[in-house]
């Protein structure tokens, strides 16, 4: 007997080649993504490996495992001073971004004023501008005002450049915040500051902390703005930059590895906080 071909069986047979093509495309995209990730992060892996290599020159072949370069790094007073300066700058710059960015986010969300839409776009301009432009602009401003370049001018520069990170993250959370909760708190007799502390702040806290961690990480690693605004005291990125002129040393690999691990941890924590904040019900 001749076999009967039904429409259902024809559709199933046609679906198999399409499924195979999709599978091949998925494999190809995955392989391409893997190659891109390898290209981006292989240098970081090499940096970490050579920080444990018992060789004064960063070159193959690898020798014995050692922690000596980390010991020398912690014995280097100039490097430790630069690390301390970077923590000082990043910490105060982060505080500055919070002091300006959080109130600005509330103003954008709740206040009505002329040219509000224009202000919302201009306030994020430092994020889109190259760091060299921000550095030169602020250098000219400080010279015009008669300020001496120091770590304090670096703090002002970093705060200006990174304030938009806090503003955009907090503003985005406020846009998703249900204002009826605040109204209920007011109806129950709570004062405005009590409503803010017990109702508003807990709902935006993770956005504030996450954006602050991200701002701290970017400030700690910032070079272009720091290059134009620093005085005689070096931050860690500037110290590394000046040291590299004489060649890469294993000590630089060691401090670079620590920076990579610490920065990755802060960024992952920041992303997790911001993601949890986005999933939090209003």
| The predicted structure's pLDDT at residue 277 | 55
Whether residue 185 contacts residue 199, with contact meaning beta carbons closer than 8 Å, is answered with: yes
Number of Cβ within 10 Å of residue 15's Cβ equals 10
Flag whether the pTM goes above 0.95: no
Domain made up of 72-279: CATH architecture: Orthogonal Bundle (1.10)
Q: What is the mean pLDDT of each run of 10 residues along the chain (282 residues)?
A: 52 63 78 85 82 73 78 84 91 93 88 79 80 87 87 90 89 84 81 82 85 88 88 85 74 82 79 63 52
Whether residue 236 contacts residue 81, with contact meaning beta carbons closer than 8 Å, is answered with: no
| The predicted structure's pLDDT at residue 1 | 47
| The predicted structure's pLDDT at residue 247 | 67
Q: Provide the residue ranges of all domains of the chain, joining segments of one domain with +.
A: 1-42, 72-279
| The predicted structure's pLDDT at residue 43 | 80
What distance in Å separates the CA atoms of residue 123 and residue 173, rounded to the nearest whole number? 17
Whether residue 161 contacts residue 222, with contact meaning beta carbons closer than 8 Å, is answered with: yes
């Amino acid at each position: 007997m001749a076999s009967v071909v039904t429409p259902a069986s024809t559709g199933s047979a046609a679906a198999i080649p399409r499924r195979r093509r999709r599978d091949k495309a998925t494999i190809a995209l995955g392989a391409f993504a893997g190659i891109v990730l390898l290209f981006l992060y292989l240098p970081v892996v090499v940096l970490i490996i050579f920080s444990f290599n018992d060789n004064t020159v960063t070159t193959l072949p690898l020798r014995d495992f050692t922690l000596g370069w980390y010991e020398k790094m912690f014995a280097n007073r100039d490097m430790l001073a630069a690390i301390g300066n970077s923590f000082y700058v990043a910490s105060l710059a982060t505080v500055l971004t919070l002091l300006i960015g959080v109130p600005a986010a509330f103003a954008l969300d709740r206040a009505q004023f002329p040219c509000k839409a224009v202000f919302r776009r201009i306030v994020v301009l430092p994020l889109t501008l190259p760091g060299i432009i921000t550095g030169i602009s602020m250098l000219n401003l400080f010279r015009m005002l008669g300020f001496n370049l120091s770590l304090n001018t670096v703090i002002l520069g970093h705060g200006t450049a990174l304030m938009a990170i806090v503003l955009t993250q907090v503003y985005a959370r406020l846009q998703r915040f249900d204002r009826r909760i605040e109204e209920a708190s007011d109806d129950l007799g709570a004062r405005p500051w009590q409503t803010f502390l017990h109702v508003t702040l807990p709902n935006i806290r993770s956005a504030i902390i996450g954006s602050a961690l991200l701002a701290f990480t970017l400030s700690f690693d910032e070079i272009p703005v720091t290059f134009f605004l620093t005085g005689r005291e070096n931050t860690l990125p500037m110290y590394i930059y000046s040291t590299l002129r004489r060649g890469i040393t294993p000590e630089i690999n060691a401090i670079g590895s620590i920076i990579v691990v610490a920065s990755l941890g802060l960024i992952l924590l920041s992303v997790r906080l911001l993601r949890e904040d986005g999933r939090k019900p209003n």
